[in-house]
Amino acid sequence: MNIERLKQLEKFLKKEPNDPFLKYAIAMEWINEDIGKAKRYFEVLLEEHEEYVGTYYHAAKLYAELGESDRAEQIFKKGIIIAEKTGDHHALRELKSAYNEFLFDEDDED
């Protein structure tokens, strides 16, 4: 994690509190250092910025890694719907691929 970048992002977020990219960037800074903080930022994004497609892939992966399979699946499904709705074909392909991998991994665990 780059502390200076995180401080800069938080400073920008104070000026632009409704910017989903800044919240996403902060979540990504925290993801390898403090999963709880990353998770909180992802939850805010999912709740307040539903159309921000970039959130879904990383949030679902995080929940899957934490063993919260039901929540991960819910996020994958919602992300696929949002990507279809917004016409973001790249995100749609990534989400479908990651979701299929997730389902395969879930089957292996059973």
Q: What is the pLDDT of residues 39-95, one digit of tens each?
A: 999 999 999 999 999 999 999 999 999 999 999 999 999 999 999 999 999 999 999
For the full predicted model, state whether its pTM sits above 0.85.
yes
- For residue 98, what is the domain's CATH number? 1.25.40.10
pLDDT, tens digit (0-9, with 9 covering 90-100), for 4-38 = 999 999 999 999 999 999 999 999 999 999 999 99
Report the domain count for the chain. Answer: 1
Cα–Cα dist 46/69, whole Å? 17
| Domain carrying residue 86 | 3-109
Closest residue by Cα to residue 56 from 70, 46, 44: 46
